[in-house]
Chains A and B, each alone.
Chain A
Amino acid sequence: MKDKIRKELIFISAVVAILVGSAILNAALISDISSSVAQENGSIPAGAYVIHVTGSQWVWTFTYPNGTVTHDFLSVPVNTTIALIVNSTDVIHDLYIPQMDIQAYAVPGNNNTVVFRPSGTGSYFFECVEYCGEYHYKMTGTLQVVA
């Protein structure tokens, strides 16, 4: 009986140790990439290339610092910190760029900011991942990372 309790305690403490260790590692990761987790009016790093993103039924609009506007196409320089300020004109949309691992809700009246830094040139896929109406599936586009 004593032996059984001892084994139970060893098992419980091993499980607790693994869970606590995982929680600490995850908390460290989340705090390290906090600027890449979308937040309302989040801080924008100095020198970042700021792009305003507007989601509307059913197109993504990108406004660059020089005033250029593109639709469903985002072109950014490589190895540069990019800050997206995401907004919406009608319903809630959700911008997701899988290969950069960033996602930001586009909420009417809210400025959600998200920061990323592409490290390789090429074209990547992005899409709206919040069901936003009849042509939700058409809200996809291309992220072009240029040298």
Chain B
Amino acid sequence: MSNERNVVVAIFVATVVVWILFDFEFYAFFSTFFNGYPGNYTASLTPPFMATGVAAAFFTIALLVYPVWTKGVRESGVDFK
């Protein structure tokens, strides 16, 4: 149980890192793309929302893939990798 919790916590921490990276990435992209109001104003406010979308996708996929990746071979004899 403790190990499983550690895995989930580790994936969550990685998700936060992904969120921060994409927040900066979207901001860098939008602030060069837009060159006027309201575009540049929108550019500074929307990256957190879009980064949340990417981070949520990362978290879900990582949770889904992790057990397959670690236990798929040993327990069923079928190599899910």
Question: Contact check: which of B33, B36, B40, B41 meets A32 at CB < 8 Å?
Answer: B41
Residues of chain A contacted by B40 (CB below 8 angstroms): 119
By the criterion of a CB under 8 Å from any partner CB, how many residues of chain B are at the interface? Answer: 13
Identify whether the interface residues of A are mostly helix, strand, loop, or mixed.
mixed
Q: Give A25 to B50 CA distance when docked, in angstroms.
A: 14
Q: Are B41 and A100 in contact (CB under 8 A)?
A: no
Chain B interface, DSSP helix/strand/loop, else mixed: helix
Residue of A25, A100, A122 ringed by the most chain B CB atoms within 10 A: A100
Q: What separation, in Å, do the CA atoms of A32 and B38 have in the docked complex?
A: 9
- Listed in ascending order, the chain B residues whose CB lies under 8 Å from chain A are 33-42, 45, 49, 52
Chain A residues close to B by CB (< 8 Å): 18, 22, 25, 29, 32-33, 36, 98-102, 116-120, 122, 124, 145
